[in-house]
């Protein structure tokens, strides 16, 4: 999940404030409705990740003859 791309897609403005060494600092601003869209996108992304994690879990079966 690229949170910066999600913010942009939600209609928020992402502004680079500065860089110190390898660390990049950014500000995000936008309307309340853009913030709501962003929150919904994060919620959906998190839910999809949780569903994918559940489908990848293996179930163990007892050994035969044990």
The per-residue pLDDT for 52 is 76
pTM over 0.75: no
Look at residue 50 in the predicted model and tell me its pLDDT: 79
Is 60 within the bounds of a domain? no
Asked if residue 17 belongs to a domain, the reply is yes
Tell me: pLDDT of 7 over 80. yes
Contacts by residues 23-31 (CB-CB < 8 Å, ≥ 24 positions apart):
28/4
Average pLDDT of the residues in 33-61: 81
Cβ-Cβ contacts under 8 Å for 35 (sequence gap 6 or more)? 10, 12
Q: How many domains does the chain have?
A: 1
Q: Range of 32's domain?
A: 3-46
- Give domain status of residue 40, yes or no: yes
């Amino acid at each position: 999940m690229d949170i910066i791309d999600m913010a942009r897609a939600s209609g928020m403005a992402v502004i680079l404030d500065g860089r110190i060494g390898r660390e990049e600092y950014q500000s995000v601003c936008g309307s309340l409705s853009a913030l709501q869209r962003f929150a919904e996108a994060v919620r959906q992304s998190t839910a999809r990740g949780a569903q994918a994690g559940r489908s990848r879990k293996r179930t163990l079966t007892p050994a035969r003859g044990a």
